[in-house]
Amino acid sequence: MLDLLIRNARLPRADEARELAIRGARFVQSEPGEAAVQTFDAAGGLVTPPLVEPHIHLDAVLTVGQPRYNQSGSLFEGIASGASEYAS
């Protein structure tokens, strides 16, 4: 049994709608008529990876000369530099 079946999903660079099947947090090939715990109709909506990149480097945040340069390039100095900016 599938955990989630997304019907009528439009993928980037695809000409027609597709079905996306998920089992155990992975995309899988579904079998015709296979049951799913939850089904969602995307109604032709575009399905893409997240448009937000949550990956940041705290050692560089707020350290490009403001309030001061991160001399060591370390995470700890970068955090301390940013913290001192907000403390004032």
- Does a structural domain hold residue 14? yes
Q: What is the DSSP letter of 46?
A: B
pLDDT recorded at residue 72? 75
Q: Which of 39, 35, 5 is nearest to 22 (CA)?
A: 5
24-63 pLDDT per residue, tens: 999 999 998 899 999 999 999 999 887 777 766 655 555 5
Longest dimension (CA), the chain: 62
User: Residue 47 falls within a domain, yes or no?
Assistant: no
**Residues 34 and 59 occupy one common structural domain:** no
> Is 56 within 8 Å of 50 (Cβ atoms)?
no
Residues 37 and 68 in one domain: no
Total structural domains within the chain = 2
Residues of the domain holding 12? 2-41
Residue at 72 is within a domain: yes
Whether residue 48 lies inside any domain: the answer is no
- Mean pLDDT, residues 57-82: 65
If asked whether residues 63 and 33 sit together in one domain, one would say no
Confidence (pTM): 0.57
